[in-house]
A and B are shown apart, each in its own frame.
Chain A
Amino acid sequence: MIPKRATPSAARPGPAILRRLAAAARWLASPLLPEDYLGLINPLWTAGDLCGRVEEVIPETADAATLVIRPGRGWVVHRPGQWVPIGVDIRGRRHWRTFSLSSAPGRPDGRVTITVKAMREGLVSNHLVRRTEPGTVIRLGRPEGAFVLPESPPPRLLFVTAGSGVTPVMAMLDGMLGGAPAVEGPDVVLVHSAPTPDEVIFGRRLRSLAARCPRLRLYERHTRAEGRLRPADLARLCPDWTARAVWACGPPAMLDEIAAHWTGPTDRLRVERFRLVPTVVGSGGRVCFTRSGREADADGGTSLLAVGEGAGVLMPSGCRMGICYSCVARLRSGRVRDMRTGQVHGEAGDMIQTCVSAAAGPIEIEL
């Protein structure tokens, strides 16, 4: 079962008197909302602009940290394996990135965690790992994603992860094995790659979980000494790997190789990519955002989402890599290039995903 916690109180059907009071409060706050005033006392009370407070920052490795977040009013409980858009203000500007939730849902303290690895030159990841103090308020989106466990897990599972790709899997393992290690239950194999033992995110937690729980077998691959994990290694470590239900999350090359060697049913291999690797770059064009009246020059290698954000347009977004459709907007004129395939498409009125589309010539978009 997926634990369900409080739904947003705005949507909760309350007694008629409460609803009337809420309506009256809206008249009193007009043209603002009551929550704009409530937010003065505690920003977590504004459901319309869902916030979370970072309460702890726990170092995991030299360049990764877990942020313990208390989500505000309106938070929807996630399923283990899902990701959430996180909005952070850096130098006064809001930046959105997605992070997998690394905690199992329904913790007794009501908090959730994300675990971030600081990328070289990464703007948001470095800010979160190195420059975020407890008490910082961040924005949250809705948890999303299909990289999740089914409600009743299959009897044999394999997780293949590398680097920060272990984060969604940590949430799943926590949910499945976190309690008292029952002898009964699914048989789990985790093959995790990291450069060195010290750089294994959740290293100690995973090792002690594996020591405690006979149903979990953990294989660590230390790539600096042993080289990159290949599908052949996988077959050696876990001979029945294609007969298992597999969740894989890591660098694009690893995921592509696993997919290429997969012989089991396609719906039993699930992969999560942390990164959109644009394959095709073409010439760009001038982009006109009709609703906000802004214009910007876009090159063919920058997504319309990034172009709009750079121009100060309020761009809706979620995963930022073409899977969630949070970013769709109506094209008014011109054509766009799908950065994943290179296909040039679009007619006036089409809804396009701004995060994976680049301008192919001048375009107008209703944002």
Chain B
Amino acid sequence: MSQQTDRAEQVKRLQRREGWRRRLPLVPALVFTIVVTQVPFILSLWYSLTEWKIVPPEPRTFIGFGNYVDLLDNRFFREAVWTSVWMTVSAVLLSLLLGTLLAILLDRKFFGQGFVRTLLITPFLIMPVVAGLVWKTQVFNSSFGVLNWLLDSLWFERIEFVTRWPLWSIVSVLVWQWTPFMMLIVLAGLQGQDQSVLEAARVDGASSRAMFFQVTLPQLRPYLELGILLGSIYLIQVFDYVDVITGGGPDSTNVPYFVFQRSIGGGWQFGQASAYSIVVVIASIVIATFGLRVLSNLLEGEKP
């Protein structure tokens, strides 16, 4: 009996040692990550509890949750939150819809398929700032933009898109960039389907429509969820597009841009700005938690 417990003890010790041997190489990366992300985050947490103005320099004073309480009756912050929500939700859903349609087209075989797929992916490979600039100056611009050239040729009046529809201008660029990402995720889902299940559905008399809605779509669900969550986590933090395309303003200042405005963008209110950014972080963490759960479900589902 005691020999058995000894053995169990030994095994446990071996496992512990083996565990450390595997973790050790990760330690430098871990330290680095903590230094560049967690330390600043904890400092932000601390700053968010203070009133701290840099220009003109004032001493930092601790005010507890004052910044967070003020948030609630700050009209500009509430507007920024709504803009963020609208921007994220509409961009994610539209790009997911378009991405799914494209993925369905790409899922069938046709001549030049690889070429078309590469072309469709390219928007995703362009830097956000560049994408924003290109759209602003070549597409939306009232004098040089393609859209206005089109309107002009059709004898319509020119429109300054970015001024008239700032939110939708940004959303169109986001959708343009994120559709390929969604397409790839959905395509992976489509191609991961068991072909014989589709054949079984055909033999069972399903129409193409029934096959898509009753067999394919339910199987795609985890992939769609994954697309939504990854897209949301990224798009809720969008800053560059706003800065380049509209430079802020009603209907286009989202929370990250608002944080920027209140701090290094001219407000110099680091305490307040930190509180805003903490709100964004919390929102992202909430979404990411769901995201990771979906992801792990997806991976588990693949085990036989």
Whether chains A and B associate is no
A: residues with CB less than 8 A from B are: none
